[in-house]
Amino acid sequence: MCGIIGYAGEREAAPILLGGLRRLEYRGYDSAGLVVARDGKLCITKAAGYISNLSEAVHGGADLPGTVGLGHTRWATHGKPNETNAHPHISDGGKIAVVHNGTIENYTRLRDFLVSKGYEFFTQTDTEVAVNLIAYFYAESGDVLHAVASAARRMEGQYALGIICEDAPDTIIATKRDAPLFIAVGERENFIVSDVTAVLEHTRTIIRLRDYEIAVLTKDGVTLVTSELDEFTRETETVGWDVSSAEKGGFEHFMIKEITEQPDCVRAALSPRLRDGGIYLDGLGISDEYLRSVERIYITACGTASYVGLVAKYVVEKLARVPTEVVYASEFRYSDPIITDRTLVITLSQSGTTADTIAALREAKRRGAKVLSIVNVVGSVIAEESDWTLYTYAGPEICVASTKAYSTQLALSYVVALKLAQVRGTIEPERFSELLRVLATLPDAIAATLPLREQIQYLASRYASRDNMFFIGRNVDYALAVEGSHKLKEVSYIHSEAFAAGELKHGTIALIEDGTPVVTVAAYSPLLDKTLSNAAEVKSRGARVLAVTTESLREKVESNRDAVDDCIAIPDFEELFLPSLAIIPLQMFAYYCALERGTEIDKPRNLAKSVTVE
């Protein structure tokens, strides 16, 4: 995820900004840049790749003298990761420079407006729209604070912005909406930071900026104003964390941090796609005519991404009635897939660089299929080679075990399924509108599962000592069981397998001993009774059964003492999208079992974040 640091003080800004950017490296980035105000001019240096490239380019900061400046690490969302698209971005005419975290959702509309006013654009980014919009209002009012407030009112989406203007070279302006931004207060120096880690070596005194508020910083002080430019004050806070826990936002591991980030990530994935009561596949160029012509879908991916595919299959088939097959990418090209020009292949990948998924994509295209990919890393091989790419905008996933990538891929799978159903006429318009309305509330529904954390930690402490565990479920619950089991294995090293609940008695039940844990996913209400009777089959042979169900099914599940020992209940939600809620306790269960066992949670043994070999 991008990182921002800004400095206004008496010391040289560039070395401080470079130091801060290094502290932000853990968040992942692909390019970096600096702007420093000097002699009434804005001097900018940017570099693709590591901070060390940027540091070399400015000789550790010596080439950028000046005491006010901004620094940025970019993690590409709009436009390729290269020097041109790196921040800071400068307005047409060069008066204003901006660093930006987040995505401006209405940037195409705003860019058209600015082009009509004669502004030229030189990058592929949404940020260049922000800086030119501020420049446009500045040209009108001659007041940079007014200009920032006016531009902020017109931008939709998420942003944290640091702004510097040639005509006020001792001042930094900052504002935010749905993206973190803090003011850090020092001795005759003040900072803006998207993540307090970047300034802890200079000060621990911070002010939290809230949405739509604007901060104006010089070396001498900080002024806070509302979006209507009314001045107000706020108490400072003192940060108690050390640097290493600050990187994790106060969490012990990236895994649990990323689990709790999922509501925001899913919001970031969905919000550009759900607009004005419809599905908005901006810039994808995928025609309704093509979607109507599709006769068969393959979903191909590896590991966790392929388990998203298992859920997506149920949703696509249910809504759009297109036969859908999920094939491991490592098997796809050897399976002689039956592909025609009416076959749509969907690949899912966090990294966009998984060798087997790339090979499957190429094989699909070679055989004449169109490929739609759901990818997190912008500009990655899979994103670039696909016919159409939907980005998940989950930000960098640092823990090797995938959590927020799973949730964002799944959310976009719902979008694809709904779009297919709409254009193919397999859904009533009223039901379509209703599902879209509910889907927009999915981030909040996921957030409502997060308080289960304490209960799950307690339960995990009772199960974590076992060396074998089984996960069962039916229909989408089976798909979830597969991912729950996968997550548990990779982070806790507990041997685990997942089965369709009805299959256990055809062999695996022989492995059930006294106390063998069987996690039973029982959230899909149409098959609840059948799942519970499968749970009873194992419990009667000694298993200890932990059920994951919904609030409205809880009583029935909990009271069935022949089938269930322990029960976790997620909030009720639209059945079709319930997997997005049910996965959260399974991820937490894996995390807390691993915590009990003291494993290397964020970097499990033998695993790599991106598997670039076959």
- In this chain, which stretch among 36-44, 50-58, 245-253, 349-357 interacts with ligand M6R, using CB under 6 A? 349-357
Q: Other CB atoms closer than 10 Å to residue 614's CB: what's the count?
A: 10
Kindly state the helix (H) or strand (E) to which residue 593 belongs, with its residue range: helix 579-597
Instruction: State the nearest-atom distance from the C-beta of 350 to ligand M6R, in Å.
Output: 3
* Phi and psi angles of residue 296, each rounded to the nearest 5 degrees, phi first: -155, 145
Nearer to ligand M6R, 214 or 479 (CB): 479
Using CB under 6 A as the binding rule, whether residue 73 contacts ligand M6R is answered as: no
Instruction: State the nearest-atom distance from the C-beta of 600 to ligand M6R, in Å.
Output: 13
Binding residue for ligand M6R (CB under 6 A) from 73, 150, 158, 354? 354
Instruction: State the nearest-atom distance from the C-beta of 491 to ligand M6R, in Å.
Output: 8
357-361 long-range contacts, CB within 8 A, separation 24+: 357/300, 357/301, 357/302, 357/305, 357/329, 357/382, 358/382, 358/385, 359/329, 359/332, 359/333, 359/614, 360/300, 360/327, 360/329, 360/332, 360/333, 361/300, 361/385, 361/386
Instruction: State the nearest-atom distance from the C-beta of 610 to ligand M6R, in Å.
Output: 6
Nearest to 588 by CA among 253, 316, 360: 253
- Summarize the chain as % helix, strand, coil (round to 5): 40, 25, 35
Binding residue for ligand M6R (CB under 6 A) from 350, 386, 475, 531? 350
Question: Beta strand pairing status for 3-8 and 190-193?
Answer: antiparallel
Question: Beta strand pairing status for 468-473 and 31-38?
Answer: unpaired
Q: Which residue is nearest to ligand M6R (CB)?
A: 303
Nearer to ligand M6R, 55 or 260 (CB): 260
Instruction: State the nearest-atom distance from the C-beta of 313 to ligand M6R, in Å.
Output: 17
Binding residue for ligand M6R (CB under 6 A) from 127, 190, 343, 351? 351
Instruction: State the nearest-atom distance from the C-beta of 34 to ligand M6R, in Å.
Output: 31
Using CB under 6 A as the binding rule, whether residue 265 contacts ligand M6R is answered as: no
Q: Radius of gyration of the chain from Cα atoms? A: 25
Binding footprint of ligand M6R, residue count (CB under 6 A): 17
Q: Other CB atoms closer than 10 Å to residue 341's CB: what's the count?
A: 12
283: left (phi over 0), alpha (psi -120 to 50) or beta: left
Using CB under 6 A as the binding rule, whether residue 357 contacts ligand M6R is answered as: yes
Using CB under 6 A as the binding rule, whether residue 610 contacts ligand M6R is answered as: yes
Using CB under 6 A as the binding rule, whether residue 496 contacts ligand M6R is answered as: no
Nearer to ligand M6R, 229 or 607 (CB): 607
Binding residue for ligand M6R (CB under 6 A) from 73, 132, 260, 349? 349
- In this chain, which stretch among 172-180, 207-215, 332-340, 605-613 interacts with ligand M6R, using CB under 6 A? 605-613
Q: Give me 158's structure tokens.
A: 């998420």
Binding residue for ligand M6R (CB under 6 A) from 92, 128, 477, 490? 490
- In this chain, which stretch among 30-38, 49-57, 345-353, 535-543 interacts with ligand M6R, using CB under 6 A? 345-353
Task: Name residue 300's beta-bridge partners.
Answer: 327, 347
Kindly state the helix (H) or strand (E) to which residue 254 belongs, with its residue range: helix 254-260
Q: Give me 548's structure tokens.
A: 């994951």
Kindly state the helix (H) or strand (E) to which residue 305 belongs, with its residue range: helix 303-320
Active site residues: 2, 609
Give the per-residue contact string, 447-486, with ligand M6R (x = CB under 6 A; - = no). Answer: ----------------------------------------
Nearer to ligand M6R, 202 or 404 (CB): 404
Instruction: State the nearest-atom distance from the C-beta of 202 to ligand M6R, in Å.
Output: 36
Q: Give me 5's structure tokens.
A: 């640091």
Q: How many residues does the chain have?
A: 614
CB-neighbour burial class of residue 317 (10 A; exposed 0-12, middle 13-18, buried 19+)? middle
Q: Which of residues 379-418 bind ligand M6R (CB under 6 A)?
A: 400-402, 405
Nearer to ligand M6R, 48 or 308 (CB): 308
Q: Which of residues 294-323 bind ligand M6R (CB under 6 A)?
A: 302-305
Helix axes 262-270, 404-424, angle to 10 degrees: 30
Nearer to ligand M6R, 269 or 545 (CB): 269
Nearer to ligand M6R, 138 or 591 (CB): 591
Instruction: State the nearest-atom distance from the C-beta of 76 to ligand M6R, in Å.
Output: 16
Nearest to 540 by CA among 550, 532, 528, 548: 532
Instruction: State the nearest-atom distance from the C-beta of 299 to ligand M6R, in Å.
Output: 13
Nearer to ligand M6R, 86 or 401 (CB): 401
Burial call 371-402: b when 16+ CB within 10 Å, e when fewer: bbbbbbbbbbbbbebbbbbbbbbbbbbbbbbb
d(CA 432, CA 71): 44
Nearer to ligand M6R, 354 or 413 (CB): 354
Residue 595 carries which side chain, given as an amino acid letter?
Answer: L
Q: Which positions lie near ligand M6R, rule CB under 6 A? A: 302-305, 349-351, 354, 357, 400-402, 405, 490, 607, 610-611
